Structure 1
Amino acid sequence: MKVVVTGGGTGGHIYPALALVKEIQRLEPGSEFIYIGTENGLESDIVPRSGIRFETINISGFQRKLTWKNIRTIWRFWRGTARAKQIMKGFGADIVIGTGGYVAGPVVFAASKLDIPSLIHEQNSVPGLTNKFLSRYVDKVAVSFEDSAAYFPAEKVRYTGNPRASEVTGERPRSPLQELGLEENKKTVVVVGGSRGARPINEAFLDSLPEAANRNWQYLYVTGSAHYDKVIEEVERAGNPGNVVIHPFIHNMPAVLSYADLLISRAGATTLAEITALGLPSILIPSPYVTNNHQEKNAKSLSSKGAAVVRTENEWNAEVLLQDSDRILSDDAKWQKMHEAALTLAAPGAAEKIFRLMEDMMKPPRLEEEGK
C-alpha cells in the first residue's frame, strides 16, 4: 500500500497522522509513505524524525477578512495542487489521508482530481475551514467527536476517535522521568501550553512558583520553544525550586503522560485523546483564539463528565492553578473519580478503525449485474 499523508501547522494535526502511519505499518507491513507538509511548519521538524519521506509544498492559509493576501493564497493553492499531483503520480499513490491544517487543502484536493481514494480526519468538535472544504471532495470523513459529524455530508462520516489515543493504550513504556530530571516515586504535574507555548499558562505558573516550591509533588513544565528562554530567567529569579523541571519541548509526550498524575494544558483534541486514553485528570485552559472556539467545546466534553476542570483565560491565575491542583492531588477519592470518568471518554482502536475504512475505500466496486 502506497500512502500519502498530509497535515500540519500544529501538533494536533501532525501527531494523529504519525500515529496512523504506525498502525498501517503494523497492519500492512511493507507499506510505503510520503508525508507532504510545508517547509516552515512544525511538521518539517517532527516528521523527518520518524523516518518518513517528507516532501513540501508552498501554501498559506486564508485570511478571514478581505485582503490581497488571499489572492496570493489562491495562487499558492493551485501551485500546491500541481506540485502534489506531481508527487502522487511519481509515487504511485494508492490512497491519500489528510489530518487538517491548510497544507492538507491542495494535497487532498489534488487526490480527488486524480481519482485517488481520499479520507480526511477531523480531530476537533468544530471542524476547521480546510476540512469543511475538503469534505465535498473526499470519499470518507473520520471524526473524533460525534458532535462534529453534523458539519459534514452524512453519508461520508464515520466516528473513529483520534488515532493518537492508540499510541498511549499499548504496553506502558519505560519511565522517562529520571531522564527528564524528575523523581520516580513522586506525584507529577505536567504543565504544557502546546507545541508553541501559551503565555497565560506560562505566566500563571511563574507567578505560582513561590507556593509551588512548597508542594509535595513535582512539576514538569513544558514551556514551548517561543517562551523557554524567558521562563528560565524567571525560574532562576525564583530560586530554581527543586521540584520544578523545565523543558522547551517533549517529543515523546505519551510516555511522559503515562507517568503523570495531573495535566495542566490547553484543550487541543490530540491532548484530550491522550489523556482520556490514559484516564489522566486534567485542568484545561482552552485557547480563545481558535476557530469557532472549538477548544472550549472540546474541553467541556470532559468537564461535563467530571474528567477535567475547565478554566477560561480570564479566570486563570496562579491562585486558581494552586487551588485546583491541591483539590485534585490532595484528595485520592477525587483523583480516582476523575481518572475513571476520563477513561469512559476514551475511543480505543481509532487508528485501526481508520485503516479498515481505508481498506474498504480501496476495494474495487462491486458489479451489480452479472457480466457487467
Structure 2
Amino acid sequence: MRVLISGGGTGGHIYPALSIIKEIKQQEPDSVFLYVGSSKGLEADIVPRENIPFQSIEVSGFRRKLSLDNLKTIYRFIKSVRESKKMIRDFKPNIVIGTGGYVCGPVVFAAARLGIPTLIHEQNVIPGLTNKFLSRFSSAIAVSFEGSASFFNHSTIEITGNPRATEVAQASRKEGRASLNLPLTKKIILIVGGSRGAKAINLAFLEMINQLPKLKDCHFVYVTGDVHYNEIREQVEKKGASIEQVTLKPFVYNMPDVLAATDLIVNRAGASFLAEITSLGIPSILIPSPYVTNNHQEKNARWLEEKGAAKVILEKELNGDILYQSIAQLMQDENELKKMSTASRQVGYPEAAHHIYQLMKKIVQNEKH
C-alpha cells in the first residue's frame, strides 16, 4: 500500500495522522508513506523525527472578513494544488488521506482531481473549513463524534473515533503510577494546560493550592508547560503548599501511561486529548480554550458534558474557588465519579485507528471495481 497523508498546523491534526500511519504499518508492514505538510507547521519538526518521508507546500487559510490577504490565499492555493499534483504523480499513492489543517486542502483536492481515492478525518464536533470544503471531493469521511455527521452532505460517512485513542487505550496504569513514584492508595488528579501552558488554569491552580490538604487522599499532578514551569514552581513554594501533595512537571513524555493512572483530569478540550481520555474512561473537568477557530473547543466540551462524561467551566468564569469546589465535589462523590467514568468510556473509540484502516481499504477496493 502506498499512502500519501497530509495534515498540519497543530498536534490535533498531526498526531491522528501519525496514529493512522502506525496502524497501517502494523497491518501492512511493506507500506510506503509520504507526508505532505507545511514547512512552517509543527509537522515539519514532528514528522521527520518519526522517520516518515516529508515534503512541504506553502498555503494559508482564509480570513473570515473581506481582506486582500484572501487574494494571496487563493493564489497560494492554486500554486499548492499544482505542486501537490506533481508530488502525487511522482509518488503514485493508492490513497490520499487528510486529517485537517489548511495544508491538506490543496493536497486532497489535487488527489480528487487526479482520480485518486481520498479520505478525510474530522477530529472536532464542528468540522473545520478545510474539511467542509474537501467533503465535496472526498471518497469518504471519517468523524470522531457522532454529532459531526450531520454537518456533512455525503453518502459515505463513518463514525470511527479519533485514531489517537487507539495508542492510549493500551497504556498501563501501573507504569503510570510508577513513573510518578506514587502509591496506589492515592487518587490522582491530573491538571494539564497544554504543551505551552494556559495562564488562566495556572492562576486558578495557584489560587486554590492552599485548599488542597482538605483532599487528603488525592495527589495533584500538574503539567505546566515548559514556558511556565519555573514560575509556577516558585509560586507554589512561596505559598507554602505541601509539595508532597503536588507533582509539577513541565512536560510528560509518557502521557498515555500517566493518563491510565489518572482518576480525574482538568484540561482544555482539544479533540485529540478528548479522544485519549474517553478511550480510558477518565472523568474530566474541561476548560475550553476561547482562543481557537470557531470556538470548537467549547463545542467539543459541551458535547462530552451532554453525554455525562465531563463538567465544563468556561475560562471567563474560572477562578481558584470554582475549580477547587468542582474538583472536591467529584472526588467526594464516588458514585458520580463512576457514572462519569462509564459515560466517558461509552463515547470512546479505542479501536479508532483500525476502523479508519478498514474504511481506507474499502475505499481503495471500491475504486478498483
Fold equivalence (TM over 0.5): yes
Identical counterparts, % of pairs: 50
Query: What's the counterpart of residue 347 of structure 1?
Result: 349
Q: Is the 8 A contact 2:177 2:258 kept in 1?
A: yes
Matching residue of 1:14:
14
Give the AA of the match of 2:18. Answer: L
Residue correspondence of structure 1 range 1-372 to structure 2 within 5 A: 1-170=1-170, 172=172, 175-179=175-179, 181-185=180-184, 186-212=186-212, 215-216=215-216, 217-239=218-240, 241-363=243-365, 365=367
Task: Report the CA distance between 1:60 and its aligned residue.
Answer: 2.1
| Whole-angstrom distance in 1 between the partners of 2:359 and 2:54 | 24
1:99 shift after superposition: 0.8
Question: 1:130 and 1:100 mapped to 2: Cα distance?
Answer: 7
What is residue 370 of structure 1 aligned with on the other side?
none
**Residue identity matched to 1:138:** S
Partners of 1:55 and 1:366 in 2: CA distance: 27
Which structure: greater helix fraction?
2
Partners in 2 of 1:40 and 1:252 — Cα distance? Answer: 26
Task: Give yes or no for contact 1:11–1:195 (8 Å, CA) kept in 2.
Answer: no
Deviation at 1:226, TM superposition (A): 4.4
Secondary structure at the counterpart of residue 190 of structure 1 = strand
C-alpha deviations, 1:205-233, integer Å up to 9, x for none? Answer: 12222333664322222223444454344
Q: Go from structure 1 to structure 2 and tell me whether the alpha carbon gap of 1:53 and 1:366 turns closer, same or farther (over 3 Å shift).
A: closer
> Offset at 1:243?
2.9
* Alpha-carbon displacement from aligned partner over 1:138-195 (angstroms, at most 9, x marks no partner): 111111112211221231322211111111223637614444x542433222111234
What CA distance in whole angstroms lies between the structure 1 residues aligned with 2:202 and 2:109? 39
Q: Using the alignment, how far apart are the partners of 2:232 and 2:165 within structure 1? A: 30
Q: Within 1, Cα distance between the matches of 2:178 and 2:40?
A: 33
Cα 1:279/1:2, change in 2 over 3 Å = same
Cα deviation for residue 103 of structure 1 reads 1.3
- Would you say the 8 A contact 2:162–2:275 is kept in 1? yes
TM-score when normalising by structure 1: 0.90
Q: Deviations over 1:65-102 (max 9, x none)?
A: 22222222222222322332333232222111111111
Kindly tell me the number of residue pairs found equivalent between the two proteins: 366
Change (3 A) 1:324 1:7: same
What is the TM-score normalised by the length of structure 2?
0.91
RMSD: 2.3
* AA at the equivalent of 1:330: Q
Separation of aligned partners in 1, 2:90 and 2:42: 25
Deviates further, 298-307 or 212-221: 212-221
Question: Is residue 174–residue 261 contact of structure 2 (8 Å, CA) maintained in 1?
Answer: no
Q: Cα distance, 1:200 vs. partner?
A: 1.5
Q: Structure 1: any 5+ residue segments left out of the alignment? A: 368-372
C-alpha separation in 2, matches of 1:45 and 1:177: 30
Q: 1:91 to 1:235 in 2, by over 3 A?
A: farther
Instruction: Return 69-78 or 309-318, whichever deviates more.
Output: 69-78
Q: Which amino acid aligns with 1:325?
A: I
CA distance in 2, matches of 1:174, 1:49: 28
Q: Is the 8 A contact 1:100 1:121 kept in 2?
A: yes
Asked if the contact 1:122/1:131 (under 8 Å) is kept, the reply is yes
Query: Is the CA contact 1:169–1:277 (under 8 Å) kept in the aligned structure 2?
Result: yes
Deviations 1:277-336 (A, max 9, x none): 111011011223333332222222222232211111122111111111112223322222
- Bigger shift: residues 292-301 or 351-360: 292-301
Change (3 A) 1:347 1:321: same
Of 272-281 and 30-39, deviating more is: 30-39
Whole-Å separation in 1 of the counterparts to 2:196 and 2:31 = 32
Alpha-carbon contact 2:125-2:300 (below 8 Å) kept: yes
Shift in Å at residue 361 of structure 1? 1.3
Cα distance in 2, alignment partners of residues 129 and 158 from structure 1: 19
* In 2: Cα distance, 1:79 partner to 1:167 partner: 36
**CA drift at 1:26:** 1.3
1:34 is paired with a residue whose SS is strand
Relative distance call for 1:261 and 1:250 in structure 2 (3 A) is same
Give unpaired runs (5+ residues) of structure 2: none
